[in-house]
Amino acid sequence: MAEITNPSSRPRVLSGMRPTGKLHLGNYMGALANWVKLQNDEVAQYECYFFIADWHALTTDYADTSQVAPNTLEVMLDYLAAGLDPERSVLFLQSRILQHAELSLLLGMITPLGWLERVPSYKEQQENLAGKDLTTYGFLGYPLLMASDILLYQPQFVPVGHDQTAHVELTREVARRFNQFYKLGGREVLPEPKVLLTPSPKLPGTDGRKMSKSYGNTIQMTDPEPVVRQKLKTMVTDPARVRRTDKGDPDKCPVGDLHKVFSTPETIAKVYEGCRMAGIGCIECKGWAADGLVKIMQPIQDRRAKFTESQAREILEEGSRRGCIRAAQTMEQVHAAMRMTLTTEAAR
Ligand code: SF4
């Protein structure tokens, strides 16, 4: 596999996901599909780094770590299934690159506590996961670990949806603070990454709420066609359409939202017309939605079937080796800027 040569000549992007188990269509449409587009963008020629944030899983699941490694493999297989290509992107595992921990520790020295306490997800997650004790140092510090994940690779862009921009903003603040304290030959070492806002379409789960593993309402990327059809059959619809003869509105129906993402313009037109005039039944409409989903999912599942777990493991190891090269370059600059080395000019 090619080494990272002349890495500064292409705009670098980096993003990652926690290994929470098999990924669902919300993960695919909100992140993976965008990453694949960036990877394959022949004009921008991004240098892409995508990783699995297994240490982040420990911030909430520290009491039972038994699923972190198996989930990591599942996520890696889903990355490959979505079309991430180890020949075009560096696909790596956070915990294989110890510099993530080192940079997090160093940035922790300069980050005011208040910055971490005010990250919106800190309070939200504590409330959402009330059954777990999240009054831990690791949980408070996870946005800083996230900042380190990013800054270690000095990317120009971090592709995220609207809901994650606060984390990138904190990363920018931390980089700014580091650069104020430490410079290398008068130059800044940790460039502030920019948010690359990627489309994250509204994707409801089967109960009409946002598709999320914690709600148990997901359609997984690996769900076989009969499972997809069955899940859609039980999906909630426009509450105004109780009987077949009641008129409905696809804009008030979660199935309508799925159509907007997965169906052809012709099908969507049929849905609007049929639903508003009570000319179609919901079962028929859900069947069309399932057709659209299956069409998108089939090539993904075909690709996944081409990889074994052992290949996924090897790809992750090789990507981590490549990621480590970039991480080591950054840390060399960080050490020199902080004068934490006895061997460079900067130390004198
Ligand atoms: S016809 Fe389709 S869009 Fe209209 S309420 Fe039924 S499932 Fe929803």
Please give the Cα distance from 118 to 169 (Å, whole number). Answer: 12
Contact yes or no for 119/170 (Cβ under 8 A): yes
CB 291 within 8 A of CB 268: no
Instruction: Tokens for 317, please give them.
Output: 């190891």
C-alpha–C-alpha distance, residues 147 and 292, integer Å: 38
Q: Which amino acid is at 125?
A: Q
CA distances from 120 to 140, 250, 262 (A): 11, 32, 31
| Atom of ligand 1 lying closest to residue 253 CA | 8
CA–CA dist 151, 174 (Å, integer):
9
DSSP state of 29: I
Angle at which helix 54-61 crosses helix 68-82, to 10 degrees, equals: 130
Best mutation site among 229, 246, 255 for ligand 1 pocket (most ligand atoms within 8 Å of CB): 255
pTM higher than 0.85, yes or no? yes
How high is the pLDDT of residue 347?
Answer: 45
- How many helices (H) and strands (E) the chain has is answered by 15, 5
Label the pairing between strands 12-17 and 89-93.
unpaired
The DSSP result for 262-308, as a single string, is HS-HHHHHHHHHHHHTT-S-HHHHHHHHHHHHHHHHHHHHHHHTT--
Tokens 């996870």 sit on residue: 142
Q: Which residues line ligand 1 (CB under 6 A)?
A: 237-238, 241, 248, 250, 253, 255-256, 271, 275, 280, 282, 285-286
Locate the ligand 1 atom nearest the alpha carbon of residue 256 and give its number: 3
3-state helix, strand, coil in the chain (%, to 5): 55, 10, 35
Extract the tokens encoding 133: 């004790």
Q: Measure the CA–CA gap between 79 and 208, rounded to whole angstroms.
A: 26
To which residue do tokens 């394959």 refer?
40
Distance 294 CA to ligand 1 centre (A): 18
Which residue has its alpha carbon closest to ligand 1 atom 4?
275
Give the rounded distance of the alpha carbon of 15 from its chain centre.
6
Structure tokens at 126: 């504590």
Q: How remote is the CA of residue 92 from the centroid of ligand 1, in Å?
A: 42
Question: Helix 165-181 to helix 120-128 angle, to the nearest 10 degrees?
Answer: 140
In this prediction, residue 3 carries a pLDDT of: 35
Which ligand 1 atom lies nearest to the CA of residue 286?
7
Q: How far is the CA of 176 from the centre of ligand 1 (A)?
A: 50
pLDDT in tens, the chain (348 residues): 333 344 457 999 999 999 988 999 999 999 999 999 999 999 999 999 999 999 999 988 898 999 999 999 999 999 999 999 999 999 999 999 999 999 999 999 999 999 999 888 777 777 777 778 888 999 999 999 999 999 999 999 999 888 788 889 999 999 999 999 999 999 999 999 999 998 888 899 999 999 998 889 999 999 999 999 999 999 999 999 999 999 999 999 999 999 999 999 999 999 999 999 999 999 999 999 999 999 999 999 999 999 999 999 999 999 999 999 999 999 999 999 999 987 655 444
- The Cα angle at residue 324 between residues 319 and 327, in degrees rounded to 5: 130
First to last CA, the chain: 38
Q: How far is the CA of 253 from the centre of ligand 1 (A)?
A: 6
